[in-house]
Amino acid sequence: MISLTSPHRTRAHDWPAGLKLAGLCLASTAVFLTDDPWVMAGLLAALALAYALPGRAFLRAGARALRLVLPFVVLMLVWHLFTRDLRMGLMISMRMVLLVGLANLVTMTTSLQGMMGVMRWLLTPFRRLGLPTHLLETAIPLTIRFTPVLIARADALALAWRARAARRPGWRLVLPLMMQALDDADHVGEALRARGGPLKPAEQED
């Protein structure tokens, strides 16, 4: 659901990553402190304005990322309509959209290097205890980097299927996508081994 850094520059791109992530934590906590749907609607309007201010291209990129939440919102609303508690369904759905939208906004305006710098700082106490935090610092950027790659692979497989069959692919793409993901993981593992594996921060500086 989270996109990579947007190429469309905004003022928020120049803000410190730690400040944005701390603000995200506080805002995510504050979302659960209100049960007023009008307050939530106002927060969603403010979020939409934050996406719209940098321009149409930035707004479209953010809207594409939020489309992934739509099926969950529909499912939530249908379930609470069935249980006759539509107000609760609306609150949960608005919270979901707001939380994902805020996280995506931070990701779009923060470089991966900046995020990893914050994580490296947060892991400092564990590193002083002798724990191999460099493994985590290597795994997380790889996971974030390969998420859009896997999405693109899935889209390409779906296009290839539709070019050869009238039926929707559905679950049939799971196995080939899994095999491609394992193949990519094998190549990345070989590349890391060829370079000596994940290096500790001190070794990287040398």
Those residues of the chain that have pLDDT short of 70 are 1-4, 197-206
What pTM was computed for the model? Answer: 0.68
DSSP string, the chain: ------SS--GGGGS-HHHHHHHHHHHHHHHTT---HHHHHHHHHHHHHHHHTT-HHHHHHHHHHHGGGHHHHHHHHHHHHHTT-HHHHHHHHHHHHHHHHHHHHHHHTS-HHHHHHHHHHHTHHHHHTT--HHHHHHHHHHHHHHHHHHHHHHHHHHHHHHHH-SS--GGGGHHHHHHHHHHHHHHHHHHHHHTTSSPPHHHHH-
pLDDT at 45: 92
pLDDT at 6: 75
CB-count burial class (<10 Å; 0-12, 13-18, 19+) for 198: middle
pLDDT at 156: 86
Does residue 197 sit within a domain?
yes
Range of the domain at 58: 11-111
* 138 and 90 both lie in a single domain: no
Does residue 39 sit within a domain?
yes
- Rounded Cα–Cα distance for residues 61 and 59 (Å): 5
Residue indicated by tokens 């508690």: 85
Does residue 6 sit within a domain?
no
Listed residues 111, 139, 165: the one ending a domain: 111
Does residue 134 sit within a domain?
yes
Does residue 141 sit within a domain?
yes
Does residue 47 sit within a domain?
yes
- How many structural domains is the chain composed of? 2
pLDDT at 188: 80
Does residue 36 sit within a domain?
yes
